[in-house]
Amino acid sequence: MIKISNLAKKFKIENPKKLSEQDKKDPRLQGRFFHSVKNVQLQCEKGEVLALLGPNGAGKTTTLRVLSTALQPDNGSIQIGGTDVVKQPIEARKKIGFLSGSTGLYGRLTGRENIAYFGRLNGMGDADIDAQINQLADQLDMHTFLDRRSENYSTGMKQKTSIARAVVHSPEVVVLDEPTTGLDIMAANTVIEFIKSLKRAEVPVIFSTHHLDEVNELCDNVAVIDHGETTFEGSLDAFKHKSDNGLHAAFMACLKEGA
């Protein structure tokens, strides 16, 4: 189970002159600080997939980076099971599988070597790493490129390898930041099927995406963030009922409510 309550994170503006006109109009800009996340709450239970939605710049990635322990929050709490992520970041990190949109691979290493390296960082033995890599290669259809150097991978190959690397240690929760962005139909479908397998294994998944058809196919619950605040949190059915004109209209209705 993942629970985020009253989360807040601000960043100091080192050079206000470099702010765009859009940034200057953002209500989260207060003096020399930009309050990227002001008040976010969400919850994801075992066996659930939570869609994290919001326009670009809403605070989704900052929220996920705080959850992953990459950033320290200014306020709020994050719980993973019985672990306080803010107070016990090292312990929490062992429980999290995190895929960031900007996560890179070591180009001179093969896919297998990239995944194995992260397995060792998480204290896994070689036999367990080999078994887990073979299982993930089956699930993500990676066998044809697994032993090639990753610097020559396509976007889909890189993303599959990054996902395998994020979950090689069998984390208790998985956080995926736009995992299908830039993928072709076949690669995206493989990723979607993998997320379904996590759900069947009762692993809670937080899934940030702009693709509402994926939300409809995968997700049990939805959280919408706009201007750093949660404007909706509830079941997929409740989200759909925000409008009679489809998921896009429901999403826009959640943004208007938060305005």
What distance lies between CA 101 and its chain's CA centroid?
A: 8
Domains contained in the chain, number: 1
Q: Of 106, 173, 168, which Cα lies nearest the Cα of 142?
A: 168
Whether the pLDDT of residue 190 is over 90: the answer is no
Lowest mean pLDDT among 13-17, 114-118, 129-133: 13-17
Task: Confirm if 79 and 173 have CB atoms less than 8 A apart.
Answer: no
CATH at 226? 3.40.50.300
What domain range includes position 251?
1-87+205-210+219-259
Quick check: pTM over 0.85? yes
The Cα 131–Cα 205 span in angstroms is 23
Task: Confirm if 212 and 252 have CB atoms less than 8 A apart.
Answer: no
φ, ψ at 204 (rounded to 5°): -65, 135
Strand, coil or helix: 200 = helix
CA distances from 32 to 15, 39, 165, 167 (A): 9, 19, 38, 38
Tell me, yes or no, whether 101 lies in a domain.
no
Q: Residues 48-92: pLDDT tens digits?
A: 999 999 998 899 999 999 999 999 999 999 999 889 999 999 999
Tell me, yes or no, whether 242 lies in a domain.
yes
- Secondary element (H or E) of residue 176: strand 173-177
Terminal alpha carbon distance of the chain: 30
Tell me, yes or no, whether 181 lies in a domain.
no
Whether the pLDDT of residue 102 is over 70: the answer is no
Task: Confirm if 247 and 240 have CB atoms less than 8 A apart.
Answer: yes
Tell me, yes or no, whether 128 lies in a domain.
no
Tell me, yes or no, whether 55 lies in a domain.
yes
Tell me, yes or no, whether 15 lies in a domain.
yes
Lowest mean pLDDT among 32-36, 97-101, 188-192: 97-101
Task: Confirm if 187 and 156 have CB atoms less than 8 A apart.
Answer: yes
Tell me, yes or no, whether 117 lies in a domain.
no
User: What's the pLDDT at 217?
Assistant: 93
Looking at per-residue confidence, does 53 or 191 come out higher? Answer: 53
Tell me, yes or no, whether 72 lies in a domain.
yes
For the chain, the residue count is 259
Q: Of 28, 155, 178, 55, which Cα lies nearest the Cα of 104?
A: 155
Residue type, 238: A
